[in-house]
Amino acid sequence: DDCEYSTPDGILDLKTLGYKDRPKYNNIPDTGLHTIAYSFNGCFAYSTKDTCQNAAACVIDLTSKQERLIARQTDRVFTYNVGVISIIYTDGDDTTLRVFLLCKTTESFQAHKITDNSFLFNIESECACPGKCTYIPDKPSGHLTGGAVFIIVLLCIIATYLIISILFLRLVKHEQGINLIPNRTLWLQIGHDTIQVLLFIVKMFVPILNLFIYYLFMLIIQTIASESSCVYDVGSGQKLDIRTLGYENGKGPKYDNIPNSSPTKSTLSWNGCFSYSKSDGGNCKDAAACSTSTQTGMSTVIAKQSEVQFEHHDNVNLLIYQTVDRLLAVFLTCSDSDEDTVNGHQDDAQTFSIYVQSRCCCPDKCHYSPDSGSKSISGGAIFLILLISILFVYIIGGIIFLKHTRGATGTDMIPNRLIWLNITLYALDGLRYSIQIVRHRSFNIDYQKI
């Protein structure tokens, strides 16, 4: 079967990622462009319109509603590297689609347009795990689902109840107007009770809302004061620090002369978090990654640190560096080995991959220590310095102004004393009210109606 591929972890069956007569993944929006969407199907070719025939994938222009074929099922190459599965499709010409299959229990699909003729799909699925899913041929069914039958029966019962009740009240009891509504008093009581329950729930959630606002405020402060954008949350309280995978202060790339498994005569280099430059006559300046020709020795920049996106998956973490004309995917795989393993691959002139196996790819295994020569101040430190400076100027300047201009003494020298006093009192009243709601006790707080 040309849709089944053998890996060290088991058999991957692309049929489990497709339907026989239609695309399994349809109307998938592009992550960067809002004017295009995609369709994709594993193993089985599908057709939608005249321009999307016998396809593995098509791109749709949402403005003109025109479709374009970008991949065929007959033109695909399967690769397996360090637990990462990728499939390269073409349209039989110069258009290339690279699909990364990532083993995960939840379903997710992300699509990126690299150039007019180069595309990238990331598919997360349990069926992307070798040996996890078994293909079951589609069985046409002409029967209604249980949910549809239930809804139809329920609507029929309600319609019968209303029609018979209205006819009875009109013809037998000669009722008119709103009195024709069956059991009107009962429904009014149910509506009233429902509103009371909702109001009670709202009152119960007032303290929770206060806590939510508090934690949201703390989260904003924490985000502003965070030390580095290179530290990523991977869940369960764990973090992955990309700074441990790079050198700072322009020392050069931590991973240099990375072997390239493609026929292209070049090597790759990559540095986590920190930019670097090479002095070999090329344009590798302030780069995250570069490609170096083995013939000329000159390096070309292929990624910048400012263009990175992080994706966390169960078995691998992914850094995607994307520009208008280039794409670099760096796969970070946790390894217990003392030695790092790194290799690379170049699919075409615009698409590159680097695979890193390291202990520092494991969350919380490596901890970053700034170089002794580093004198930089973090964004959080700058924020705190500015905040303290503003408060100091406000307090000292206010005291001097009130003392020498208005002749204030004692507590009257505190700037905006009444405002801060009222804010404190309001905060205490709000806290007492929240405690009252939680404990269901009555405090003697005299709130007057407005």
pLDDT interval class at 375 (50, 70, 90)? very low
Is 80 exceeded by the pLDDT of residue 8?
yes
Mapped onto helix, strand or coil, the DSSP state of residue 70 is strand
Q: Give residue-wise pLDDT tens across range 401-444.
A: 777 777 788 888 887 778 778 778 877 887 887 777 767 655 55
pLDDT for the residue numbered 215 = 63
**Which of 98-102, 181-185, 195-199, 211-215 ranks highest by mean pLDDT?**
98-102
pLDDT for the residue numbered 427 = 77
Domain-located, residue 233? no
Same domain, 317 and 393: no
**Domain end position, chosen among 302, 328, 361:** 361
pLDDT interval class at 289 (50, 70, 90)? very high
Domain-located, residue 135? no
Same domain, 434 and 357: no
Write the CA distances from 407 to 162, 413, 420, integer angstroms: 80, 9, 20
pTM greater than 0.85 (yes/no): no
Same domain, 323 and 247: yes
Q: DSSP letters of 80-125?
A: EETTEEEEEEE-SSS-EEEEEEEE-SS-EEEEEEEETTEEEEEEEE
pLDDT for the residue numbered 217 = 59
What's the farthest any 2 CA atoms get from each other in the chain?
100
Number of domains in the chain: 3
The residues near 70 (Cβ < 8 Å, ≥ 6 apart) are 55, 57, 58, 59, 89, 91, 95, 97, 119
Among residues 239, 301, 248, the alpha carbon closest in space to that of 272 is found at 248
Cβ count within 10 A of residue 181: 16
Domain-located, residue 18? yes
Domain-located, residue 150? no
Domain-located, residue 143? no
Mean local confidence (pLDDT), 54-81? 88
Angle between helices 184-204 and 206-224 (to 10 degrees): 40
Mean local confidence (pLDDT), 214-233? 65
Domain-located, residue 73? yes
pLDDT for the residue numbered 373 = 41
Is 50 exceeded by the pLDDT of residue 291?
yes
Same domain, 12 and 115: yes
Write the CA distances from 372 to 249, 259, 275, 376, integer angstroms: 10, 32, 18, 11
pLDDT for the residue numbered 298 = 92
Q: Give residue-wise pLDDT tens across range 384-407.
A: 787 788 878 778 877 887 777 777
Domain-located, residue 49? yes
Domain-located, residue 244? yes
Same domain, 357 and 384: no
Is 50 exceeded by the pLDDT of residue 112?
yes
Is 80 exceeded by the pLDDT of residue 17?
yes
Mean local confidence (pLDDT), 127-155? 79
Same domain, 280 and 245: yes
The CATH number of whichever domain residue 356 belongs to comes to 2.70.130.10
Give the chain's mean pLDDT: 83
* More confidently predicted of 144 and 447: 144
* More confidently predicted of 252 and 398: 252
pLDDT for the residue numbered 213 = 58
Phi, psi (rounded to 5 degrees) for 326: -145, 155
Is 80 exceeded by the pLDDT of residue 6?
yes
The boundaries of the domain holding residue 344 are 240-361
Same domain, 326 and 418: no
